[in-house]
Structure 1
Amino acid sequence: MNRFSKGTLLAGTIMAGAMIATPAYAQDEDAGASVQSGAAENSDGDNFIVVTGSRIQQKNVDTAAPVAVVAAEEFELSGTVNVENVVNTLPQVVPGTTSFSNNPGNGTATLNLRGLGTNRTLVLVNGRRWVSFDTAQVVDLNTIPNFLLESVDVVTGGASAVYGSDALAGVVNFNLKRVEGLEMGGQYSITEEGDGASYQVYGAIGTSFDDGRGNATVYAEYYNRESVFQGDRAFSNFALGGETFGLNLLQFGSSTLPNGVLRYTGGANSNTGLPPGTEFGNAGESGFGNGVVFDDTPGDFRFRTGDTYNYAPVNYLQIPQERYLMGGYADYEFTPGHTAYTEVTYVNNRVQQELAATPVTGNFNVDLATVQPFLIPGDFQQLQDIDAAETAQNNADGVADDPGVVNFFVQRRTIETGARNSLDERNAFRVLAGVRGDITDNLFYDAYYSYARTRNANVQAGNISRSAFQAGLDGTGTPINIFGLGTLTPAMVQAISIQAQNGDISTQEIASASISGFLGNFGMGADDVGFAVGAEYRGVESRFLPDTALSSGDVIGFNAGNSTEGKYNVRELFAELNVPIFETDGGQRLELTGAARYSDYSLDAIGGVWTYAGGVEFQPIDQVTLRGQYQRAIRAPNVGELFGGQSIGFPGANDPCADPANANDQTVINLCQATGVPAGNVGDPNIQLNAQIPALFGGNPNLQEETSESYTFGIVLQPNFAPGLTITADYFDITIDDAVAVAGGSLQGLLDLCYLQIQDINSAACQAFVGTRTGNGAITVASPPLVGNANIASLGVSGVDLEINYTTDVAFGLFEQDSRLNFNFLGTYTESSFFVPVVGQPTTVECAGLFAGQCGEPTPEYKWTSRLSWIDGPLTTSVRWRHLDSVDSEDSILVDPTGGIDYTSFNGINTIDSYDLFDLSFSVEASENVTITAGIDNVFDTLPGAPEFDAAGNVTNRPNSLLLGDNQEQANTYPSTYDVLGRKFFVSAAFSF
C-alpha cells in the first residue's frame, strides 16, 4: 500500500525543487510503480525500465543526455496544485502562459523550456504525447493531475530521433504513479491580503485483482482558484508608462479617453488648405467644451495626464480557474507475459480573462446633423468649419463630396458598457489502449493507439460592434453621444454592444508499435547491447471557428480573426541502439548510444526528413562519469502556422516614421515617403495614433520544417571522501535554423527591419507597409500591414547547468535520536540566448541577461533554485531559495556588426535588480495514514513597490526595480516571472488507506 511516508519524503527532498541529473533509480514493486508502459519484467524476474529520452528497455538508468528529475514531494512541500507553479521555477524554464497571464493570455498554462518557445517543447505523460489545446498543438499543463505525479523528467536538447517532431528544446515527461488502496486529500491557500484563495480536493483508488494479474486506478479532482484584480495591489493599480518617448515615468493610462476624442487627420493631405499644425483645441485643457478634442498639434496628442483613463484596476492580476478532472488507467495480463493496458482522462477547465472597457479607435464618418444635439455650439461650429473647408476644396478639385459628413479618427473608451470578459471552457479527453509483452526472454514488444480531443468554447462579453458604432455616428442607426463622461445611455449601449463567440477543436491520433530487446555483448564485463525499432503514425487536425462578427472584423474589444482549419499526418520509422563497450570491476565503463528516425509528412513542403542522435558515456573511475551527446531534431509547423486565417492584432510598437529622432534622416524620410508618409510628417509623433499598432497575422501553407542541432557535454562527480554528495555539470548548446517566425520576429521587428536596417523599399520587409498608411501617414485598422509566417529566423541558447546534491545523517533530533539533512542546488548559467529575426541580415538579438522588446520575459544569466530540508522523525522542515540575477532592458541588444547604426529602441526602465524569494514549509506524519503539510511562500513578502505621484501624474518614487513602465509585460511588471501576490499561506492534508 502506497502512502506519503518519511521514506518517500526523504527520497523526494533529496531531489525536491531541483532537476536531478544523476541516475533516477527505479522503485521496487512494493513501493509503487510508474504507469509508463515501457516497464516490463522478463521471465528471469529481472526488472527492465525505460527512462525518458529512450525507448530501449535497460537495466542501467544512466544516459548520455542529462535527465533531470523533479520528485512528487516537491509539489507538496511547495504548496503547489497546478503543475506550472513548480515547473516554471526551474532554472531551465522561462515561463510561458500562466495563471497571471491576463493580457496577453489565453487561459492556459504552458511550458517553455530554455526560452525557445512553448511549441518547441515536447510534453509527454507516461512517455507518450499528451492532449493539446489549440491550433498551435501545445499542451495545457492544467490538464495533468499533480496529485498522481510520481516524478517529472526533463531532457535537454533535441529528442526528435526518439519522439518525433516538436522536441527541439527538449522533452518534459510527467510520470503518473499506480495507486494501491485509497488516497485522498485536499489543499487550501490564501494570500496575506486575504484574497486569491484556491482549494483542491482529490481522490484516487487503486487495486490489484485476479491474483495480481491486473491493476486499475481511477481518480477525480476538483480545483477552484479565485481572481485577484490589479486594483487589489498598490503597485499595479495605476497603468504606468511614458518613458519610452523621453518623458518621465507617469500615470499613463490610455490614449483612449472616456469622454470622447475626435482628431481630424486630413489637413494638407486631403488638400483642404488646413495645415497639419492647425489646432482646434488643446487636449491638455480640462473642461474644454464637452470633452471633444480636435487636435493635430505635435506633442499634444500622446499624453493627457489629467484626462487619461486608468485601465489597470479592472484587469485580472490572477485569473480565476475552475477545473474538474477525472480518469483512470488499468492493465491486465491476459496471458502469461502479455499485458493489455488502457488510459482514459477527461478534463473540464473554465478560465476567464477580464480587461477594461472597450477602447474604440479608428476612422469613422461623422454626420454633423446626427451629433449636433450632443455638442455645445462652439464645438459644433468647428465641425462645420472643417466640413466647409473640405467641401470647398473637393469642389475646386472636381472630387465628389458628401456635405455634412466628415471623416474623423475617433477615440472613446466605452466605460458605460462595463469590463470586457472572455470565458474559455475547455473540455479535453484522451483514450489509449495498448498491449505489451515478451516475444522471448530478451525480446519485447509494445503497441498502442491513442486519440485525444480538446474542444473550447470562448464567449466574449463587453465588445462593441464597429458597424453599429459607425451607424450611431452617421445617422443610419441609433444616435450615440460619445462626447463627455457617462453620456452613453443604456439604450445606446445596447445598440452598439455585441457578444461574440469562438470555438476551436483540436484532435490528435497516434498509432505506435515497437520491438526492443538485447543482442548479446562484447564481453569485457559489458551489459548486453540494447535496441529498439518501431513505426509510428500521427495525425493532427485543428479548427478555429469564430462567429461572423469576429471573422468580419466587426468586433471591437477582443482581436478579430478568420477561421482556421487544417490537418496533416506523418508516418515514421525509428531505431535506437545502446552499446556497452566495456565495464571493469574497478568502475571503468564505456557506453555508446545512437538513434535515428525517418519521417514522411503529408505536407508537400516537407516530405521526408531524417533526425538522428549519438552519445557517449565514459567512466574513467567509479567516482567520475563523463558524458556527451549530439542530436539533430526537427519541428514540423503546426496547424495554426500553416493554415491560420488572417486575423488582426494590436501589438505594442513604435513607428520609426513617427520618431522625432528620424526627422532629419534622409534615408528614413525617403523610405517613409515611399510607404505613404508625407515628407513633412516624418518624425511627427502624431502620425502614430496609439501605442498599439494594428497588423494582420496569418498562416503560410508553404512552410518547411525547423531544424536544430544540440550538443551536451557533462560530468558527474560522486566522490568517495564525501558520501551522499553528487555534483553534476552539463554544458548545453542548441541552435535552431529555418525557424518559423513573423518577419522581423514581431511588428516592431518588421518596422525596424524596413526603416532602420534593410532600408530597401523593394525588400519584403518594406513592401509590407506600402499602401497601408492613411493620408497623414498613420497605420490604422483600415489597411493594416500583413506580418506573415516564414522560415526566416534563427534562434538558440547555450549555457551550463550545475547541480549539487548532498545528504548526510545528523547525530541529534527532536523526535528521534538521529535526523537527516539534505541540500540540493540547481542553477543555470545562460551564456547566450539569441534570436536572428531574418537570417542573412546584420541583426542579432541577444537576450541573455536582458528583458523586454523582442526578448520578452526576463532571461537572467544566473538563475537557481535550492532547498534545504531537515528530516527529524515524522517532521520535515524545509526552506526553498529561488534566485534570479539582475537583467537589463533591450536598450542595446540590436547589434550591427559594421558598427554604423545604433539600434537603441527603448529609453525606459533599464534594469531589474537581482531577485530572491524564500519559502518555508513543514510536513508531519500525524499518523500512519495521515500527513499534514503547511507552509509560507514568499516569506519576506517581496513585491514590486507602489509608485508615488506628483500633481502632474509623474512618478516621484519607484520603491524597487520590479516596478516597470513601458518595458513591462502587464501589471507594471512580468507577473509570470516575479511574484505579484505577496506572502501566501497554504495547508494540505493527504490520507492513504
Structure 2
Amino acid sequence: MTAPHQAAAQSVPAEASAPAGDLEEIIVTGTRISGFTAPTPMTSLSAVQLQDKAVSTVADMLLEVPQLRINQNIGKSSEPIGASNADLRGLGTQRTLVLMNGNRVGITDPAGTIDTNIIPVALIKNVDIVTGGASAAYGSDAVAGVVNFVLDKDFEGAKADISYGSTEHDDFRRPDVNFALGHGFADNKVHIEVAGDFMHNSGESSQASRSWGANGTVQLTNPAYTKTNGQPRLLIVDHGTYSQMTAGGVVGLSGGTNTLALSLANKLGFAPGTGVQFGSDGKPTPFQYGTNIGATFMQGGGGGSAINDGNLLPEIDRKSGYGRISYQLADNITLFADMLYSQVHANSDLAPNPDVGTITIRNDNAFLDPSVKAAMASLKLASIPFGRLNYEDGNSEFRTVTKTRRWTFGAEGSFGRNWNWSVTGQLGRNTYDEFADNNRISQRWTYGLDSVINPATGQAICRVKLANPNPTAAQDPYGDIRSCVPINPFGAGSISQQALGYYLGTSTITADMHQDVYAANISGSPFSTWAGPLSVAAGAEYRIEKTVQTSDANSVLSRWRSINGQPFSGEYNVKEAYSEVVVPLAEDMTLAHKLELNASGRYTEYSTSGGVWAWKFGGNYEPIEDVRFRGTVSRDIRAPNNYELFSQGNQVINAIIDPRTNVARQTTQITGGNPNLLPEEADTYSVGVVFKPRWLDGFHASLDYYNIEIKNAISTVAAQDIVNFCFNGQSVFCSGVIQTGGIITRVNIIPFNANSQRAAGEDFEAEYSFPLTLLNNDGDVQLRVLANHADTLTTTANGVSNDYVGLAGISPPPAGVPEWRVNVDANYSFDKWRLGVGYRYISGGKFDTRFNLTTLDIANNDISGIGYWDANVSYRLNENLTIYGSVENLTDEAPPITPNGIVQPTIANSPFFDNRGRFWVLGVRARM
C-alpha cells in the first residue's frame, strides 16, 4: 500500500478520494512502486470521513465500503463472539489480506481470521482498500484484495476524542475514549508517538426490545407438506413456541408426531387434543398444542419460548495501546520500531441448555408422578420421550478474550537519485481464550436423569450408582458414577443446587497464534525511456505461521453438550520473492496523453504444499488528460491455513431438516480440518475507466468491472447441503451423515477443494467538490457516491452450482451478498460548522437463493431492500476544541425478518441490515 518515501499521488484520484478541502494529502497506491498510479481499482477512507461518521471501531468504518462484507458473530457458540472480520466480495475472510502500515496483521483466532477490532482508531490516517487480486504485489491471501490501515507515523502534538453513543432504546451504550501524543526530539531526529483506545459496547441481549423482534418469529417445517401437494416445506411464522420444551418439562414427540402424548393425556383424563406437561409441583397438567407442529417449534400453543431473548449484539470491551519510535541515523537512513497491544473482551449468551424431546424417562423414574406411571403401565410404555428448557442451568454464557501483541522493527532509507529500500521484521503473539459457562457434561446429565428409588433407603438414587455402588477406576474414570446426584426434571425449578453442581461446568479453549515475518524491499528507476523513467521494485519475505490450540480435559473427550474444542497444532513457513516493473510507453502524444504497462510476479513456496506462482499484468491508457482506461489480469494464490489443515473438530448444534421426512431436529455438526488440501489459485481480471474532466473542477468518477474465478477453492459444504446431497443420490456425501436408528444425529463437515468459486460485478465511485455560498456564508460542498453491483457469487462443487447473490437470510458457506449496495454522502463545511447527510441502500433478495430452485422451498422467499438515512454535525469551538454529533438510521428502519434455525433463533440474521435502530453519538475532540 504506502511505500517508504513514496512520492505524493494526486490528492483526489478516483480510486483514492479525499473530502474537499484536502485537509491532508492522502498517499495511496495499489503497487510497490513509488509515484505510480496503479491500474488496480482502489477505494480509500480518509480520517475526515471517519470523523464525520463518529466511528469507534474498524467495523463501523468498513460498513462505508460496499465491496466489503463485515462478518460479526452475535452469539453462535461455534464462532469467535463479537469478532468483526473483513470480507471483500463475499469470498471469505481468509481471502482478504489485512495490513497495518503495509505489514501483515496476524490472525486473532484459531480459525485463521482477523478481528479488525484490534486496530487502534486514534492514529488511523486513512484506510486503503484494493478491491481486486493483489497477491503478486503483497503476497499470498490477497485473492479478493487488500485492506490496509495506514497509521500516522509522523503525528505531532496531542489529541483526544471522547464520545458517548446509544440507541433511543437506551441500549448499545457506547462510551469511547481515544488519544494520541507525538513529538520530535533532538532536532526531529527522534520521533516518538503513543496512542490508546478504550471502547465499551453494552450490547443488547433481547431482540424483543425491538417491536420487530417481539413476535416470537420462527422458521419451522410445514407438517402438511408432501412432494406433490404444492405446499412449501418451510414456513416463517409469528408466535412460535417450543413443541417439545417447557420450563417444567413436557412429553415429547415420538416418530415426529404427538400421538403417544395424546394417548397418555387421554389416560390421565385430559381434554382431547392436549398433551402432557408438568407443573411446579411435578404434577402432570394438560399441554396445549398449537398449529404447524414441528420437531422444535410450533405456532401458538402452550410451549415455552426463549425466542425473544435472542441477542442483537454481544457486549464488547476493547482496550488498545500503540507506540512508535523512529531515529534518523543519517540523512538517508531511518531506524524504527513500534508495538501494538490490544485486548478485546466479548460476552454473549444463548438459551439455557435445551433438550428438544431428547430425554428418555423410564416408567420407574424416582420422581415421576404415580398417575403418569399408572398411565404408562396401562399403555404398556417402558419409557416416554421428554423435553425441557432447563432454566435452572442459567443462560449458556459465552466469553472470549482476544489479546494481540505485535512488534515491528526495521530500517528504511534511500540512495542514489531515486532508489528506496526497507528491511522489516515483525513478531506477532496473539492469544484467544473462549469460555462456555453453564455448559453441561452429557454423561452426568444422562446418569442423573435416570434415577430410581433405592429399596434400602426409600430415597432417589442414580440407577447406575445403585447397580454399581463401588465402581473401579476403570469403570468410572471421571467420577461420574461415584458422585452421581439424582436429577428431578419434573416442574419448573425442580433441579437441586447439588444436581447443578454435579453436571454443570465451564468448557475452555485456548489458542496461541505466532506469526514471524521478515521482509526486504527495494524500488527505484534504473533508466528512462522516451516516455519517462522505467521503474522497478523487488523484494523477499519469509514468514512463519504457527497455531497451537488446547482445551479442557472434558472437551478433549467430547463430554460437554456443546463446543468440545479439540486440541491441535499446526505450523508452516512461507518463502516469497517478487519483482515488479512499470514501463512508460507514451507521454503527451496525440491520443496518447499517457500509456504505461505494469507487470509483477511472485514465487511463493509453502512448506506444506510446495511452490506456486502469482502474477499480474496491467496498464493505464489516457487518450486525453481527462480520461484514463485501466485494466488488469492476474493470478492470485492462497494456501490452506493451520485450522483448515490440522483442526480436529469444532462443534455446533443447529437444526437439520431430514429431506426424507421434512422433520427438523437439533443436530450436532462437527467441523474439522483436511490435511490433503491444495493451494487455491484465482484468475482475476478487471477493466475500468476513470473520468476527471478539466472543465469540471473537483469532479471525478470511475467505473470498473471485476471477475474473480478461484480454482481448487477451499470450501465447506453447509451441513444441510451435505444431508440433501446424500439423500438425493450423491453418495459421496453420505460418509458425513451419521444416523442412529434412522435419525440423523451428527453431520461431519470438512473443507475440500471445490471445483470453482466465482465473483463478478461492477464498482462505481464518484466525487464532486465545489464552493457554495449560503446565507452569506462561504463554504464547500463534498459529494461522494460508492456503489457495488454483484452479478455473480457462485460455488461449484461435485457438479452442483449455487449462486449466493441476493442471499439475505441464512448464512451457508460462502455467505451471500446483496445485489446492490450504494452509499451516498453529502457534506457542507462553512465557518466553524460541518454538516453532513448520508444514505445507504442495501437491495433485497432471497431468504435463500437455493429455495424455489430445488425441493427445498419456503412460503415466501423474497426479502425487501432497505435504505438508511444518516446525519452528522460538528462545530469548532476554538482552535483546540470541536464538538460533534451523529445519528445513524435516522428513520429507525427495521431489518428484514430472516430467522435462522437454532433453538433461540436470531430473527434478523443478515449482517448487512441494521438491527440496532436509531443510534446517536455525541462527542468532543481536542487537538493541541
TMscore range, shorter length = 0.7 to 0.9
Asked whether 1:616 is paired with 2:619, we answer yes
Q: Which has the higher strand share?
A: 2
Asked whether 1:237 is paired with 2:199, we answer no
Question: 220, 244, 247: which one pairs with 1:258?
Answer: 247
Asked whether 1:84 is paired with 2:59, we answer yes
Residue aligning to 1:779: 744
Deviating more after overlay: 643-652 vs 929-938: 643-652
Question: 530, 533, 537: which one pairs with 1:532?
Answer: 537
Residue aligning to 2:565: 561
Residue aligning to 1:863: 821
Return closer, same or farther for 1:103/1:253 CA change in 2, 3 Å cut-off. farther
Q: Structure 1 CA distance, aligned partners of 2:577 and 2:411?
A: 19
| Deviation (angstroms), 1:612 | 0.6
Amino acid at match of 2:605: D
Return closer, same or farther for 1:284/1:241 CA change in 2, 3 Å cut-off. farther
Deviation string, structure 1 residues 130-149 (Cα, Å, up to 9, x no partner):
13211232211111112211
| Deviation (angstroms), 1:329 | 1.2
Question: 213, 225, 248: which one pairs with 2:201?
Answer: 225
Residue aligning to 1:928: 879
| Deviation (angstroms), 1:443 | 2.4
Asked whether 1:147 is paired with 2:122, we answer yes
Asked whether 1:592 is paired with 2:597, we answer yes
Contact 1:883 / 1:915 at 8 angstroms: preserved in 2?
yes
Deviating more after overlay: 276-285 vs 166-175: 276-285
Asked whether 1:508 is paired with 2:485, we answer no
Deviation string, structure 1 residues 134-173 (Cα, Å, up to 9, x no partner):
1232211111112211111111121111122211111011
| Deviation (angstroms), 1:882 | 0.4
Asked whether 1:964 is paired with 2:908, we answer no
Asked whether 1:647 is paired with 2:650, we answer yes
Deviating more after overlay: 592-601 vs 980-989: 980-989
Question: 213, 227, 234: which one pairs with 2:189?
Answer: 213
Deviation string, structure 1 residues 360-410 (Cα, Å, up to 9, x no partner):
3586665544x233323234551686566xxxxxxxxxxxxxxxxx6x655
Deviating more after overlay: 969-978 vs 204-213: 969-978
Residue aligning to 2:791: 831
Residue aligning to 2:471: none
Return closer, same or farther for 1:570/1:104 CA change in 2, 3 Å cut-off. closer
Asked whether 1:903 is paired with 2:903, we answer no
Deviation string, structure 1 residues 54-82 (Cα, Å, up to 9, x no partner):
222x223x211012111112222112101
Deviating more after overlay: 724-733 vs 542-551: 542-551
| Deviation (angstroms), 1:728 | 0.6
Contact 1:511 / 1:536 at 8 angstroms: preserved in 2?
yes
Question: 732, 736, 761: which one pairs with 1:764?
Answer: 732
Amino acid at match of 2:366: Q
Residue aligning to 1:37: none
The 5-angstrom pairing of residues 126-525 of structure 1 reads 126-177=101-152, 178-229=154-205, 230-242=207-219, 244-245=221-222, 246=232, 249-254=237-242, 255-261=244-250, 279-281=263-265, 284-285=274-275, 290=284, 301-304=295-298, 305-360=300-355, 368-369=363-364, 371-379=365-373, 381-382=375-376, 386=380, 410-474=386-450, 475=462, 476=465, 477-523=484-530
Residue aligning to 2:803: 845
Asked whether 1:790 is paired with 2:752, we answer yes
Q: Structure 2 CA distance, aligned partners of 1:163 and 1:26?
A: 30
Question: 934, 937, 941: which one pairs with 2:888?
Answer: 937
Amino acid at match of 1:463: N
Return closer, same or farther for 1:221/1:212 CA change in 2, 3 Å cut-off. same
Asked whether 1:753 is paired with 2:725, we answer yes
SS of the residue aligned with 1:341? strand
Quick one: percent identity of the two aligned structures? 25
Contact 1:99 / 1:109 at 8 angstroms: preserved in 2?
no
Deviation string, structure 1 residues 505-537 (Cα, Å, up to 9, x no partner):
1111101112211121211xx331111111111
SS of the residue aligned with 1:193? coil
Return closer, same or farther for 1:545/1:909 CA change in 2, 3 Å cut-off. farther
Return closer, same or farther for 1:601/1:536 CA change in 2, 3 Å cut-off. same
Deviation string, structure 1 residues 865-909 (Cα, Å, up to 9, x no partner):
011111112111100100112212325568xxxxxxx51423144
Q: Structure 2 CA distance, aligned partners of 1:853 and 1:212?
A: 52
SS of the residue aligned with 1:171? strand
SS of the residue aligned with 1:469? helix
Deviating more after overlay: 579-588 vs 94-103: 94-103
Residue aligning to 1:988: 923
Contact 2:357 / 2:388 at 8 angstroms: preserved in 1?
no
Deviating more after overlay: 906-915 vs 429-438: 906-915
Residue aligning to 2:840: 882
* TM-score after normalising by structure 2: 0.87
Q: Structure 1 CA distance, aligned partners of 2:526 and 2:639?
A: 34
Q: Structure 2 CA distance, aligned partners of 1:145 and 1:124?
A: 13
Return closer, same or farther for 1:298/1:870 CA change in 2, 3 Å cut-off. closer
Residue aligning to 1:714: 688
| Deviation (angstroms), 1:425 | 1.6
Contact 1:845 / 1:893 at 8 angstroms: preserved in 2?
no
Q: Structure 1 CA distance, aligned partners of 2:186 and 2:25?
A: 18
Q: Structure 2 CA distance, aligned partners of 1:854 and 1:456?
A: 25
| Deviation (angstroms), 1:779 | 1.4
Gaps of 5+ in 2: 1-8, 223-231, 267-272, 451-461, 466-483
Residue aligning to 1:40: none
Return closer, same or farther for 1:361/1:567 CA change in 2, 3 Å cut-off. farther
Contact 1:69 / 1:153 at 8 angstroms: preserved in 2?
yes
Contact 2:525 / 2:534 at 8 angstroms: preserved in 1?
yes
Q: Structure 1 CA distance, aligned partners of 2:727 and 2:701?
A: 50
Deviation string, structure 1 residues 674-697 (Cα, Å, up to 9, x no partner):
xxxxxxxxxxx3xx5x2x322322
Residue aligning to 2:229: none
Q: Structure 2 CA distance, aligned partners of 1:809 and 1:536?
A: 47
Amino acid at match of 2:343: N
SS of the residue aligned with 1:974? coil
Q: Structure 2 CA distance, aligned partners of 1:52 and 1:891?
A: 37
Asked whether 1:657 is paired with 2:660, we answer yes
Contact 1:875 / 1:923 at 8 angstroms: preserved in 2?
yes
Deviation string, structure 1 residues 657-679 (Cα, Å, up to 9, x no partner):
222xxxxxxxxxxxxxxxxxxxx
Q: Structure 2 CA distance, aligned partners of 1:649 and 1:828?
A: 33
Q: Structure 1 CA distance, aligned partners of 2:823 and 2:71?
A: 18
Contact 1:258 / 1:412 at 8 angstroms: preserved in 2?
yes
Q: Structure 1 CA distance, aligned partners of 2:183 and 2:256?
A: 80
Asked whether 1:574 is paired with 2:562, we answer no
SS of the residue aligned with 1:340? strand
Q: Structure 2 CA distance, aligned partners of 1:881 and 1:161?
A: 36
Asked whether 1:550 is paired with 2:555, we answer yes
| Deviation (angstroms), 1:429 | 0.6
Amino acid at match of 2:345: R
Q: Structure 1 CA distance, aligned partners of 2:256 and 2:818?
A: 49
Q: Structure 2 CA distance, aligned partners of 1:217 and 1:52?
A: 25
Q: Structure 1 CA distance, aligned partners of 2:357 and 2:180?
A: 55
* TM-score after normalising by structure 1: 0.81
SS of the residue aligned with 1:323? strand
Q: Structure 2 CA distance, aligned partners of 1:278 and 1:228?
A: 40
Deviating more after overlay: 371-380 vs 720-729: 371-380
Deviation string, structure 1 residues 79-106 (Cα, Å, up to 9, x no partner):
2101101202321112212668788652
Return closer, same or farther for 1:562/1:103 CA change in 2, 3 Å cut-off. closer
Return closer, same or farther for 1:641/1:336 CA change in 2, 3 Å cut-off. same
Residue aligning to 1:633: 636
| Deviation (angstroms), 1:972 | 1.1
Equivalenced residue count is 861
Return closer, same or farther for 1:421/1:467 CA change in 2, 3 Å cut-off. same
Deviation string, structure 1 residues 8-46 (Cα, Å, up to 9, x no partner):
xxx99x98xxx9515779999xx8788xxxxxxxxxxxx
Contact 1:103 / 1:970 at 8 angstroms: preserved in 2?
no
Amino acid at match of 1:211: D
Residue aligning to 1:955: none
